């Protein structure tokens, strides 16, 4: 399949390229961070530039556009709202219009943070109540996506796995700090349903190959866990001392995720259409270690 992936230099996009580059013909957009990977065609583009987006999409003629690019740092989104809006909302609109022109399916990667953060195991029918500006922009983009035909929206949970030299995911950060034997303070009262990045990629791959359109799915792991307990398991699997991990309550530090105490996802809907079982944290961390 001919796939155009945005955010190829990001955490999810990189895992997508690494996992699927021998199966699909992938052109991966990046913006500031150039990477090289055999069988993956990287293409520098600013998705805010409508003309650039149209020119590239028309040239590539993808069957599917997987849109992962975004300003994902919650603090930056809060402090530079114009930037967050122009990339996360207007950039998505540029890609949607260009994708519609070439008749491509559009897969939009949203976030578990669109939910209120004060429930548990949210379903796709739960009314979104984003608490951060980041999540507001992701939800506004979802609404725009829904006004087009042939889309899939995936509300993704916190991901873990191997990143690249430029990425700074939660698991990248844990690995760097623990390897350097530095103590890490981790929220004991923030709950998510973390997903192994390769599972997220495999799920996207299955969904785009099925006859599914105009639908929304939660995409997370099956296990609700605090960041602290996740970090303990991470240390255990990778052989780091667990006493480097210090549990702290969310209200002990200024955080831009203050509202997001529990964004755990109910994943029954997506699990029912996938041919494989999404991994729990132990399974995912062990798969990560083996890879
Ligand atoms: N990571 C998670 O745990 C998580 C959880 C829930 C939802 N999500 C969602 O999943 C998606 C992927 O997240 P991620 O963690 O992979 O993100 P990430 O590592 O922060 O990567 C963001 C990507 O967006 C690109 N980008 C930023 N501004 C751009 C612009 N103006 N034009 C073109 N590309 C631009 C970046 O390119 P350069 O680096 O080359 O500039 C990078 O490739 C995002 O939509 C995010 O909202 C992620």
Q: Atom of ligand 1 at shortest distance to CA of 13?
A: 16
Location of structure tokens 């623990």: 178
157 within 8 A of 265, measured Cβ to Cβ: yes
For ligand 1, atom 7, name the residue with the nearest CA.
111
112 within 8 A of 192, measured Cβ to Cβ: yes
pLDDT score recorded for residue 252: 86
pLDDT score recorded for residue 258: 65
Angle between helices 92-102 and 133-145 (to 10 degrees): 20
For 2-167+194-222+263-279, CATH number out of 2.60.40.10, 3.40.50.1000, 3.40.50.720, 1.10.1740.10 equals 3.40.50.720
pLDDT score recorded for residue 82: 98
Predicted confidence pLDDT, tens digits, the chain (291 residues):
999 999 999 999 999 999 999 999 999 999 999 999 999 999 999 999 999 999 999 999 999 999 999 999 999 999 999 999 999 999 999 999 999 999 999 999 999 999 999 999 999 999 999 999 999 999 999 999 999 999 999 999 999 999 999 998 999 999 999 999 999 999 999 999 999 999 999 999 999 999 899 999 999 999 999 999 999 999 999 999 999 999 999 988 777 766 789 999 999 999 999 999 999 999 999 999 999
Domain boundaries of the chain, sorted by first residue: 2-167+194-222+263-279
116: CA distance to ligand 1 center in Å?
22
Sequence-distant (6+) residues with CB within 8 A of 47 are 6, 29, 31, 53, 69, 87, 91, 92, 94, 95
259 within 8 A of 117, measured Cβ to Cβ: yes
72: CA distance to ligand 1 center in Å?
6
In this structure, the strands spanning 225-226 and 191-192 are antiparallel
User: Is residue 117 lining ligand 1, measured as CB closer than 6 Å?
Assistant: no
181: CA distance to ligand 1 center in Å?
28
Distances in Å between the alpha carbon of 39 and those of 42, 97, 228? 10, 27, 38
pLDDT score recorded for residue 257: 67
197 within 8 A of 220, measured Cβ to Cβ: no
With CA atoms as reference, report the closest residue to 6 among 64, 55, 77. 64
71: CA distance to ligand 1 center in Å?
6
User: Is residue 163 lining ligand 1, measured as CB closer than 6 Å?
Assistant: no
Q: Atom of ligand 1 at shortest distance to CA of 166?
A: 39
15 within 8 A of 161, measured Cβ to Cβ: yes
pLDDT score recorded for residue 282: 98
Which residue out of 35, 68, 170 has the highest number of ligand 1 atoms within 8 Å of its CB and is therefore the one to mutate?
68
> What SS3 class is residue 246?
strand
Q: What is the DSSP string of 131-147?
A: -SHHHHHHHHHHHHHTT
Angstrom distance (rounded) from CA 87 to CA 94: 10
Q: Dihedral sign, CA of 199, 205, 157, 126?
A: negative
User: Is residue 111 lining ligand 1, measured as CB closer than 6 Å?
Assistant: yes
Q: Atom of ligand 1 at shortest distance to CA of 34?
A: 40
For ligand 1, atom 21, name the residue with the nearest CA.
10
Q: On the CB side of 72, how many CA atoms lie within 13 Å of its CA?
A: 22
Angstrom distance (rounded) from CA 149 to CA 230: 38
């Amino acid at each position: 399949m001919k796939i155009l992936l945005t955010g190829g230099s990001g955490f999810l996009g990189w895992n997508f390229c690494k996992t699927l580059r021998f199966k699909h013909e992938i052109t991966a957009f990046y913006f500031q961070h150039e990477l090289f990977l055999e069988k993956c065609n990287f293409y520098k583009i600013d998705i805010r530039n409508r003309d650039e987006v149209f020119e590239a999409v028309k040239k590539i003629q993808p069957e599917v556009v997987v849109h992962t690019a975004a300003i994902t740092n919650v603090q930056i989104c809060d402090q530079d709202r114009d930037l967050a809006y122009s990339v996360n909302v207007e950039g998505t609109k540029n890609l949607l219009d260009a994708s519609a022109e070439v008749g491509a399916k559009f897969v939009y990667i949203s976030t578990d943070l669109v939910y209120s953060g004060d429930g548990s195991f949210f379903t796709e029918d739960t009314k979104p109540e984003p608490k951060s500006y980041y999540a507001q922009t992701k939800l506004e983009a979802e609404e725009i996506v829904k006004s087009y035909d042939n889309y899939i929206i995936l509300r993704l949970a916190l991901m873990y796995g191997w990143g690249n030299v430029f990425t700074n995911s939660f698991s990248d950060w844990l690995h760097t700090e623990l390897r350097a034997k530095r103590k890490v303070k981790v929220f004991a009262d923030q709950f998510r349903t973390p997903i192994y990045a390769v599972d997220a990629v495999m799920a996207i791959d299955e969904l785009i190959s099925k006859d599914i359109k105009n639908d929304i799915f939660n995409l997370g792991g099956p296990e609700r866990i605090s960041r602290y307990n996740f970090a303990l398991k991470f240390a255990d699997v990778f052989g780091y001392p667990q006493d480097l991990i210090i549990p702290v309550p969310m209200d002990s530090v200024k955080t831009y995720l203050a509202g997001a105490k529990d964004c755990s996802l109910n994943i029954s809907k997506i699990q029912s259409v996938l041919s494989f079982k999404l991994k729990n944290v132990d399974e995912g961390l062990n798969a990560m270690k083996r890879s």
